[in-house]
Structures are given as C-alpha cells and as structure tokens.
Amino acid sequence: MREHFFHSVAFIAFALLAPFSSVAASPAAPWTVGIRPARLVNGSPVLFRVTTPKSIRTLAGNWLGHDVTFSFDASGRVWFALAGVSQETKPGSYRLELHAETRAGEALSFEKTITVVGQRYPRVLLKVPGRYTAPSPEDQRQIAQDKEVKAETFKTITPDREWKGSFAPPVNAEISDIFGVERVFNGTVQSTHQGLDFRVPTGTEVAAVNSGRVILARALFFEGNCIVIDHGQGLLTLYLHLSKFLVKEGEDVSKGQAIGVSGGTGRATGPHLHLAVRWQGVYINPQVLLKMKLP
Ligand SMILES: [Zn+2]
C-alpha cells in the first residue's frame, strides 16, 4: 500500500516535469555522439560514432585542432571516423565540433564535450650499439636526410578512408614492449617508445594491418628498413627494423598481405617488429587500435 503510494507520487512528479523539459529541447531527434574506447586516455586512438537529427549529405568535425572526415555506415545508419589523442594531451575536457549539411543544403552543427583521462607511462633503461646514441658525422648526415624524408611522408593526410573493418595484428606473436614507455638508451639518450613491439625472430613475414597504399619503403638510420602505409582519414601505420621489403612505394596493399620480413635493422636491441600508428601527426597506441571493433 505504502509502496504503491510512492510510485504514484513519483509518476505524478514525472508527468508534471516532463512537459517543461521537452519545451527546452529541440523538437527534432537529438544528435548522438558515441566514443570508443569509452574511457579515453592520452595516446589513444578514438572512434567517433555520430547520428544526426536529420538525414545529411556530409559530416566533418574538428578535434584537438585536427580536421576529421566522417564516413557513413549504411548498415548501422551511423557516421564514423577514427581519430586520436596525442600522448602530450593533458587530462581535461575537449570539444568535438561537428558540422553537417542536409540534403536540402541546410547547415547543422553540434558540439560534444569529451573527457581525456591522464595515463602514466613507465620508464626503462636500454642498451644499443654506441653509434645510435653518439652517431658519427656521416651517420648524422643520414639522420638529417631521414628527418626530411619522414617529415615529407608524415605530411600525407588522405581524407578518404582506405581502411575497412577492424585492424589485424601484423604478426602472430607476443608483445615484448608496449606503447608510451619512456626509454633511456645507453644512459644518455631519452626517447618515448611510440609503437608496439612484437617478439619475432628475423625472417617472419609481416602483414599490413589494414588496406591502404605504401607511401614509404626504404632504409632509415634509426628505423632500419621501414614501411609506411597510408590508410586514409589521416591514419598511417609504420613497420620498423625489417630485414626485407616485399612491396614498393606506391603499391596498394590489402589487409593481411605480406609487406615485408622482420629483422633487427636500425636502432634495435635485437630482432623484433615495431609497429607504430600515426594519426594526423601524432603517434597513438597500436594496442588499443588492434582491439577496436570497427565498421
Ligand atoms: Zn619498438
């Protein structure tokens, strides 16, 4: 009896409040913005999933100062884009700005505040051959040359999406070192580990993690034999320390295709595969990307 009374009061209160809240809201369906991973940290990739109040023709966004291009997933009736958060991004609230155009040419916009939680990354000491921490004048010339090659390569931002579906691991092996570790080489040179290491001996075939185009396949001083694939939407993947190339620059590759053979070339403590992911100029955690279920 008593319980029934409370339910009735609650119902009446809800019925009274409901008309006021619906006056404040727009009569159209609301925008929705889904974020994966739900708990977003610095150094992570992020998948945005957006539904709009009206049927739209295009959707573009801005996130942490980067332009974001969305694709439409017809089966899920949702717009999606992969983006990232740099490791240097401070914990806090950031705005995702969205701009859409309806089929009738009407401009719609929306903002969503997204929280980035701070992640601490560990620190380790490593030993490598001396030339990698005290390079000779000749090595320094190559390092300077490589820097230009990399800057040119990393400028590539293809708005159109080449990747499709979830990303697949490049090798079937255990992980020997994670993303974001602060490393000190030979007690002198500090560098952040901006990729994910797989424990593979020399001679293991390395596969493209998703489809795209090979924009770099050459020997660099620190990276060793290095391949860079452009997956579109500003997303690049890098494969380091290879012993052999199986693809050439300019070649289109599909997910799972063998692109090279693992090795220990460049600044490596031993043979392994270093996989890195870049999104519009920042390195993001490959391990999180490999776990994401993508359309
Ligand atoms: Zn590595």
**Of 170, 153, 161, residue with least CA distance to 255:** 170
Range in 21-25, 152-156, 274-278 with the lowest mean pLDDT:
21-25
Residue 27 pLDDT grade (very low, low, confident, very high; cuts 50, 70, 90): low
Span 179-234, pLDDT tens digits: 999 999 999 888 999 999 999 999 999 999 999 999 999 999 999 999 999 999 99
What is the arithmetic mean of pLDDT over 92-119?
96
Report the separation in Å between the CA atom of 181 and the middle of ligand 1, taken as the mean of its atom positions: 10
pLDDT at position 75: 84
Structure tokens at 187: 């007690």
Report the separation in Å between the CA atom of 213 and the middle of ligand 1, taken as the mean of its atom positions: 22
Let me know: does 251 contact 214? Beta carbons within 8 Å.
yes
DSSP state of 130: G
Report the separation in Å between the CA atom of 196 and the middle of ligand 1, taken as the mean of its atom positions: 5
What is the arithmetic mean of pLDDT over 117-142?
94
Span 137-175, pLDDT tens digits: 999 999 999 999 999 999 999 989 999 999 999 999 999
Distance CA 231, CA 186 (A): 35
Report the separation in Å between the CA atom of 133 and the middle of ligand 1, taken as the mean of its atom positions: 16
Report the separation in Å between the CA atom of 193 and the middle of ligand 1, taken as the mean of its atom positions: 6
Range in 67-76, 145-154, 252-261 with the lowest mean pLDDT:
67-76
Report the separation in Å between the CA atom of 273 and the middle of ligand 1, taken as the mean of its atom positions: 7
| ∠ CA 80-150-249, rounded to 5° | 75
Structure tokens at 112: 């969503």
Report the separation in Å between the CA atom of 237 and the middle of ligand 1, taken as the mean of its atom positions: 13
The yes-or-no verdict on residue 258 having pLDDT over 70 is: yes
Distance CA 156, CA 13 (A): 57
The yes-or-no verdict on residue 11 having pLDDT over 60 is: no
Let me know: does 141 contact 200? Beta carbons within 8 Å.
no
